[in-house]
Chains A and B, each alone.
Chain A
């Protein structure tokens, strides 16, 4: 029970990741696929941010009057910084994917993968 409730954020991360993964593989609509991709990537953000969290800790801004710095009082800022970079990467991936989807739509007038494959087969 402790591993389920006490670490619920990790369970959510796994659930989200699986939802995204399923959508990327099984959905036939291309937009749904990249939405799945986004969910997948967001799950990773949740995972990283969860690892930074500490109970009863605060934001990592040093107070000058404090003489001894106790790391247990502060949340680890590094995963947040890493995720800022990762978010930028994710946004650009999403952008490229959307651009490719637009090109696909202009070519085939549909966004369903099965229909596109059907069109390609007919051309042969």
Chain B
């Protein structure tokens, strides 16, 4: 049997089954839960790399579930964009899984750990499912699997996380229901749920009001799921109070997968000309995201809690990506897709460092970062690189995607948005240099309290790996664009 042929379904099925097996493993031998959990995610990384390899060498993969022909059965379609995203999601989930071993010990009661691992695997399943599926209703189901496990994971955190999780449930359900309504309207007018089938059917129906309604529901629904500016209320609280491992994993993947769904709906389900020329939608989204960039940056300056600062920076980054997708030229799109990778690494790395600092000093307050470089030199060096990348200083990865976005913005003539991009870089510089100054140049008076060593090795390695990846991707971004992202450009760009 050729396993490679089935890797697109295995990447969904393996973590799904493993999440249930993990609970039973808990009763048999609790010690095995963690190794099993990491092993499963490691297999997912291998599968996703295999899928990327197949897509690059042999073209688009189409996998028919149960052998049913596409418009009737569910079909998994993997092209360059999916494969690229799968690798990002699976590697981030694997890296954070390694990190979580020590980190969750301090934040989650020991008896709940196996359930944490199972929920984490379910979240990964949902995200993989969203990425591989080629069916809009199936996408809804995976969206809800991912969201439900995210609600649960957020609620395990510290005390205030429960209320945050409740708000997340309310907002997330509205988002998912809007998406489902969009699916309903699309189904009424076309009678199909398959994305490739819809690409063929929809162009003749662009004049219809039903199509417009469906599009509106889709965009608002996804807008809530990715926390685009006016719909972002759930994000800062959830990611601040969730366990550090969950914050790192969710911030690095959930919103990025949401951006992917937005790209699919905007450019695969509908044609680019529909969004850019026939409706004012892309124009609206550009202004929307410009405001998101300004707003996120401004609020981020005033925060004292490091994780909350990062959450607002994440809202800014989402603004970047939505902006890049909608400006409608090649540079903007490449910038946005490259930024999915870069941002996932940067924000994941910074959240892991925030968790690491919390692990050692039990505080997330920026004031308490004073003189940390003496105790945690390697972590703080990683922090410096991730921060520089966040600001966008070459040769770190963040520079290249920002460069493409700004070039795209200038080319398309959106000067206010260009100003917003530069403004948010400056604000990031302000925020991070202020923290860096505390870390390296402020002496800590309270030496008694800060008498501790570097992080445990299993938390160290993931942070160092992501940091190295940020640097490597900076050097190889040209290669990534020419071998993967170039092929995911929508028609007519």
- Residues of chain A having any CB pair with chain B under 8 Å: 21, 24, 30, 33-34, 37, 40-41, 44, 47-48, 51, 78-79, 82, 85-86, 89, 92-93, 96-97, 99-101, 103-104, 107, 116, 120
Instruction: Say yes or no for B155: interface residue by CB 8 A criterion.
Output: yes
Contact B184 A44 (CB under 8 A): yes
Given A103-B162, A107-B159, also A93-B144 (CB < 8 A): yes
Q: How far is the CA of A62 from the CA of B396 in the complex (A)?
A: 63
Chain B residues whose CB sits within 8 angstroms of the CB of A21 once the complex forms: 174
Q: How far is the CA of A7 from the CA of B181 in the complex (A)?
A: 18
Chain A residue at minimum C-beta to C-beta distance from B143: A89
Given A85-B141, A93-B144, also A51-B166 (CB < 8 A): no
Closest beta carbon of chain A to B154's beta carbon, Å:
9
Contact B174 A24 (CB under 8 A): yes
Instruction: Say yes or no for B169: interface residue by CB 8 A criterion.
Output: yes
Chain B residues whose CB sits within 8 angstroms of the CB of A86 once the complex forms: 140, 180
Closest beta carbon of chain B to A120's beta carbon, Å:
7
Q: B interface, how many residues as a size bin?
A: 20 to 34
Contact B162 A93 (CB under 8 A): no
Chain A residue at minimum C-beta to C-beta distance from B159: A107
Q: How far is the CA of A48 from the CA of B141 in the complex (A)?
A: 16
Chain B residues whose CB sits within 8 angstroms of the CB of A107 once the complex forms: 159, 162
Closest beta carbon of chain A to B201's beta carbon, Å:
15
Given A41-B173, A44-B181, also A100-B162 (CB < 8 A): yes
Q: How far is the CA of A43 from the CA of B181 in the complex (A)?
A: 10
Contact A100 B184 (CB under 8 A): no
Contact A24 B170 (CB under 8 A): yes
Contact B141 A100 (CB under 8 A): no
A/B interface sample: 30 pairs, CB < 8 A: A21-B174, A24-B170, A34-B169, A37-B173, A40-B173, A41-B177, A44-B177, A44-B181, A44-B184, A47-B181, A78-B187, A79-B187, A82-B137, A82-B187, A86-B140, A89-B140, A89-B144, A92-B148, A93-B148, A93-B169, A96-B148, A96-B151, A96-B152, A99-B155, A100-B151, A100-B155, A100-B166, A101-B166, A103-B162, A104-B163
List 6 tightest A-B contacts by C-beta distance, closest first: A89-B144, A103-B162, A97-B169, A100-B166, A51-B188, A104-B162
Q: How far is the CA of A95 from the CA of B184 in the complex (A)?
A: 24
Majority DSSP secondary structure for residues of A touching B = helix
Q: How far is the CA of A33 from the CA of B166 in the complex (A)?
A: 10
In addition to A30-B166, A33-B170, A104-B162, 11 A-B residue pairs with Cβ atoms within 8 Å of each other are: A24-B174, A37-B170, A44-B180, A85-B141, A86-B180, A89-B176, A92-B148, A96-B152, A100-B169, A103-B162, A107-B159
Chain B residues whose CB sits within 8 angstroms of the CB of A100 once the complex forms: 151, 155, 162, 165-166, 169
- Residues of chain B having any CB pair with chain A under 8 Å: 137, 140-141, 144, 148, 151-152, 155, 159-160, 162-163, 165-166, 169-170, 173-174, 176-177, 180-181, 184, 187-188
Contact A40 B162 (CB under 8 A): no
Chain B residue at minimum C-beta to C-beta distance from A33: B170
Chain B residues whose CB sits within 8 angstroms of the CB of A97 once the complex forms: 166, 169
Closest beta carbon of chain A to B83's beta carbon, Å:
27
Chain B residue at minimum C-beta to C-beta distance from A79: B187
Chain A residues whose CB sits within 8 angstroms of the CB of B151 once the complex forms: 96, 100
Chain B residue at minimum C-beta to C-beta distance from A88: B141
Chain A residue at minimum C-beta to C-beta distance from B183: A82
Contact B170 A104 (CB under 8 A): no
Q: How far is the CA of A41 from the CA of B172 in the complex (A)?
A: 12
Chain A residues whose CB sits within 8 angstroms of the CB of B162 once the complex forms: 100, 103-104, 107
Q: How far is the CA of A56 from the CA of B418 in the complex (A)?
A: 59
Closest beta carbon of chain A to B140's beta carbon, Å:
8
In this complex, the member of A37, A51, A100 whose beta carbon has the largest number of chain B beta carbons within 10 angstroms is A100
Q: How far is the CA of A44 from the CA of B151 in the complex (A)?
A: 22
Q: How far is the CA of A78 from the CA of B136 in the complex (A)?
A: 14
Q: How far is the CA of A24 from the CA of B140 in the complex (A)?
A: 21
Q: How far is the CA of A24 from the CA of B171 in the complex (A)?
A: 9
Closest beta carbon of chain B to A100's beta carbon, Å:
5
Q: How far is the CA of A30 from the CA of B166 in the complex (A)?
A: 9
Chain A residues whose CB sits within 8 angstroms of the CB of B160 once the complex forms: 120
Chain B residue at minimum C-beta to C-beta distance from A30: B166
Given A82-B137, A104-B166, A107-B162, also A93-B173 (CB < 8 A): yes
Closest beta carbon of chain B to A89's beta carbon, Å:
5
Contact A51 B163 (CB under 8 A): no
Closest beta carbon of chain B to A61's beta carbon, Å:
18
Chain B residues whose CB sits within 8 angstroms of the CB of A96 once the complex forms: 148, 151-152, 169
Chain B residues whose CB sits within 8 angstroms of the CB of A40 once the complex forms: 173-174, 177
Q: How far is the CA of A21 from the CA of B173 in the complex (A)?
A: 11
Q: How far is the CA of A103 from the CA of B265 in the complex (A)?
A: 37
Contact A116 B163 (CB under 8 A): yes
Q: How far is the CA of A93 from the CA of B151 in the complex (A)?
A: 9
Chain A residues whose CB sits within 8 angstroms of the CB of B141 once the complex forms: 85, 89
Chain A residue at minimum C-beta to C-beta distance from B147: A93
Q: How far is the CA of A120 from the CA of B141 in the complex (A)?
A: 35
